[in-house]
Amino acid sequence: MAVHGPAMTDVARLAGVSHQTVSRVLNGHPNVREQTRLRVRAAIAELGYRPNGAARALVTGRSQVIGVVAQNTTLYGPASLLAALEQTAAEEGFAVSVGSVRNLDHRSISAAVERHLSHRVAGIVVIAPVESAGEALERLPKDVPLVTVDGDPNRPVPLVTVDQVAGARAATQHLLDAGHRTVWHVSGPTDWFDSVGRIDGWRQALLAAGLDPPPPMPGDWSAASGYRCGQMLARMPEVTAVFTANDHLALGVLRALHEFGRRVPDEISVVGFDDVPEAAYFIPPLTTVRPDFDAVARASLQMLLSQIESGTGGALRQTVAPALVARQSVAPPRR
C-alpha cells in the first residue's frame, strides 16, 4: 500500500484556515495577513508538507523550476554562487535545474538555454564571469526571463554582481592606511570581469592616494600561479604590501615569501579576496574581502521573479557590496 504524505487540507486544518488560504500563502499572494501567513508556514513545517510542483504549475500557469547555466568549475566564487542560488530558490519554493557547460561560449550557453527552455523552466540565471559569455547572452531570445550573475556590466542584460571595484579599493586602502607607500597586485585572468574589476579598484585606490600603480602581476586564480608571482615579489626588497585577486593566489604568495625568509606581516603584508573557509587558518590568518554570495543570490532571484511576474525584461543593474575581513596578515611597514 502506498503511503501518502500530508495534504494541503491537513495544513489548512492544523492552521485553522481554508485550503484556499494555504494555496495563497504557497503562491506568495499579497492579500494574506502576516499573522495568518506565519501560522500556515508553521503548520507546513510541523507536518513536513511538500507542495505538488506539477499542481502548482497548473494553478499559477508557470513552472516552479529555475534554470541555471554555469561553468563546470570548482573555483570558490562560482561554486559558492551556485550553492547560494539553489538554497535561495528552495526558500522561494523553486527547484533549480543546473546546466553545466565546459566553456562559457556562444554555442555552449545557447545549447544549455535551449535545454532549459525545452523543459519549460520559469526563468534562467546565467553565471557569466568571462568575456566569451557576453555575445551569447545578447543573442538569446528576448522573451525569456533572464538574469546574469557577475556578467559584463557594459552589455544591456539584467545583471547582479559583487562590487568588485569597491572590494579591491577597500583592500588596497586598508594596506595604505597601515602605512605602506604602495601596493603590488597579483591579478586573476584578464578575461574575467571579476579580475578586471579588482584591477580597476586597486588602481583607483593608488591613484586617489597620489601614487603611481606598479605593473600588475598576472595569475590564473591558482595557488601555483600565486607561488610563481610570490617568488618574484620575494626578491624585490621594495615590496612591502601585496593585494591578490583571490585567496588561493594569496596562499601561493605566502608560501613563496616563507621560503625566501620574508616574514608576513613583519616584512610584507598580504590581503586576498573571497574569504574562502580556509583563509582564517592560513599562516598567518589572512586579511581578505568577503563577497556576500547569499545577497547576490537573493537579488538575482528577486530580479528574475519580477520579470516572470511582469512579463517584461529590462536592462537592470544591481551591485552587492563586499566586506573587508581584517585578520593577522597586515601590519605597518618596518621603518
Domain that residue 214 falls in: 164-291
30 preceded by a cis bond (ω within 30 of 0): no
Residue at 300 is within a domain: yes
How would residue 247 be classed by pLDDT, with cut points 50, 70 and 90?
Answer: very high
Give mean pLDDT, residues 213-219: 97
Residue type, 225: S
Same domain, 188 and 278: yes
288-290 and 323-325: which strand pairing? antiparallel
CA distance 182 to 190: 22
In this structure, are 201 and 279 located in the same domain?
yes
pLDDT of residue 142: 74
Pairwise CA distance, residues 182 & 170, whole Å: 14
- Reported confidence tier of residue 57, pLDDT bands at 50, 70, 90: very low
74 lies in the same domain as 217: no
Beta-sheet pairing, 184-187 with 241-244: parallel
Residue 202's closest CA among 243, 157, 231?
243
What does the pLDDT average to over 105-114? 82
**Is the pLDDT reported for residue 27 higher than 90?**
no
Q: Quick one: pLDDT at residue 62?
A: 58
Percent of the chain with pLDDT over 70: 92
Residue type (1 letter), 97: S
Q: Are residues 185 and 287 in the same domain?
A: yes
Q: Is residue 21 part of a domain?
A: yes
What does pLDDT average to over the chain? 87
Question: Are 21 and 137 in a shared domain?
Answer: no
Q: Which pLDDT value is given to residue 314?
A: 57
φ, ψ for residue 126, nearest 5 deg = -115, 120
37 and 121 within one domain: no
3 within a domain of the structure (yes/no): no
Tens of pLDDT, residue by residue over 269-280, are: 999 999 999 999
Grade residue 312 by pLDDT with cuts at 50, 70 and 90.
low
CB distance 226 to 245 below 8 Å: no
Query: In this structure, what C-alpha cell is assigned to residue 261?
Result: 625568509
146 beta partners: 124
| Model confidence, pTM | 0.78
**Domain shared by 92 and 142, yes or no:** yes
- Residue 108's closest CA among 73, 138, 81, 132? 132
If one counts the domains in the chain, the total is: 3
Q: In this structure, is residue 105 part of a structural domain? A: yes
Assess if residue 1 is contained within a domain. Answer: no
Supply the CATH number for residue 186's domain. Answer: 3.40.50.2300
For residue 63, what pLDDT band results from cuts at 50, 70 and 90? confident
Mean pLDDT of 23-45: 81
CATH number, domain containing residue 48: 1.10.260.40
Q: Are residues 184 and 251 in the same domain?
A: yes
Those residues whose C-beta lies under 8 Å from the C-beta of residue 151, and which sit 6 or more positions away, are: 126, 128, 129, 133, 134, 137, 157, 159, 161, 193
User: Is residue 98 assigned to a domain?
Assistant: yes
Inside any domain, residue 177: yes
Ranking 54-63, 165-174, 319-328 by mean pLDDT, the lowest is: 54-63
Q: Are 155 and 173 members of one domain? A: no
Determine, yes or no, domain membership for 223: yes
Cα gap 80→276, rounded to integer Å: 10
Q: Are residues 130 and 184 in the same domain?
A: no
- Taking a C-beta distance cutoff of 8 angstroms, is the pair 295, 320 a contact? yes
Pair (141, 204) in one structural domain: no
Clarify whether residues 171 and 141 are in a common domain: no
Indicate the pLDDT class of residue 54, thresholds 50, 70 and 90.
very low
